[in-house]
Structure 1
Amino acid sequence: MKAAGVLALIGCLVTSTESKVYTRCKLAKIFSRAGLDNYAGFSLGNWICMAYYESGYNTTAQTTLDDGSVDYGIFQINSFTWCRYEKVQEKNHCHVACSALITDDLTDAIICAKKIIKETQGMNYWQRWKKHCEGRDLSEWKKGCEVS
């Protein structure tokens, strides 16, 4: 009986730490509702393309960089400048814990991404956006998606 309880508890823990990988159209809807379409002059296609190349739409994506900092979440937001990791004192310009950027609720990640756009050179912060999305026709990224 105790073993069944322990297994159930482990099952709950494993379920809660699984990553959420959104579909392109689900993200288009979330991004549109969050006001990202044409935010700072960048179309919805830019945001969807960038999220794809940065994280593969994976909310729990984490990339450790050579300098020891970590890029977090769907937008791969860096721990050194934009969020707080544990008790390490980084700049934390978004005033958010890095763990808040790797949840299925994209609110904090979107707020932080908007701040990055305003405080840097637009979407140039995201190198994969520059390589794969900048200056291209991005209308295909939201094609077939119902966005409001």
Structure 2
Amino acid sequence: MKNQGFVAFLLLLISVNEAKRLDRCELTWFLKKGDMDGYYGTTIGDWICLAFYGSRFNTKSLGGRNPDGGRNYGIFQINSRWWCSTQKGRKSNGCNAYCGDFIDDDIRDDIACVKIIAREASGLDAWYLWRRNCKGKNLSRWTRGCEF
């Protein structure tokens, strides 16, 4: 009996920590609501493409160490070296945010931060994965079939 209770507790703990993966149309809705279509010359397709290649739409994605010493957080892979604070060491905090806030299911703060990055760091060029996988490509497939 004790083991069953422990197993149930363990399964509950695992389900609470499971990452939420948005589908592309759900993310399209959030981005449209956040006024991201046309923001500093970007399209919703740009942001969806970035989120796919950066995190596979995983809101709790945490990347490994980058060459600049930072890590990437959340669905848009926001770099801790420049844009958020881990409360370890002296680094820039351009979004005035705690990095841990970008690895939860509420992406409103992620959107607020990427707006700052797009405005202050030459748009989406700040993301290597966007430059490599999305820049200059037809991105209409990322929003095709999504109502917005």
Q: TM-score, normalised by structure 1?
A: 0.90
1:67 Cα deviation from its structure 2 partner? 4.2
1:12 Cα deviation from its structure 2 partner? 3.1
Mapped to 2, the partners of 1:86 and 1:16 lie a distance apart of: 25
1:40 Cα deviation from its structure 2 partner? 1.1
Indicate whether 1:53 and 2:23 are aligned: no
Gaps of 5+ in 2: none
* Alignment deviations for residues 103-135 of structure 1 (CA, whole Å, 9 cap, x no partner): 111011110000000111111001111111111
Mapped to 2, the partners of 1:97 and 1:129 lie a distance apart of: 23
1:96 Cα deviation from its structure 2 partner? 1.0
Paired AA for residue 60 in structure 1: K
Paired AA for residue 60 in structure 2: T
Mapped to 2, the partners of 1:12 and 1:122 lie a distance apart of: 40
Indicate whether 1:30 and 2:30 are aligned: yes
Mapped to 2, the partners of 1:125 and 1:144 lie a distance apart of: 28
Partner SS state of residue 63, structure 1: strand
Mapped to 2, the partners of 1:67 and 1:111 lie a distance apart of: 23
Paired AA for residue 126 in structure 1: W
Q: Which residue of 2 aligns with 1:11?
A: 11
Within a 5 Å distance, the mapping from 1:1-148 to structure 2 comes to: 5-64=5-64, 65-147=66-148
| Aligned sequence identity (%) | 39
Mapped to 2, the partners of 1:29 and 1:20 lie a distance apart of: 16
Mapped to 2, the partners of 1:89 and 1:106 lie a distance apart of: 25
Paired AA for residue 77 in structure 1: I
1:66 Cα deviation from its structure 2 partner? 3.6
Mapped to 1, the partners of 2:87 and 2:15 lie a distance apart of: 23
Q: TM-score, normalised by structure 2?
A: 0.90
Instruction: Kindly indicate whether the alpha-carbon contact (under 8 Å) linking 2:117 and 2:123 is maintained by their aligned counterparts in 1.
Output: yes
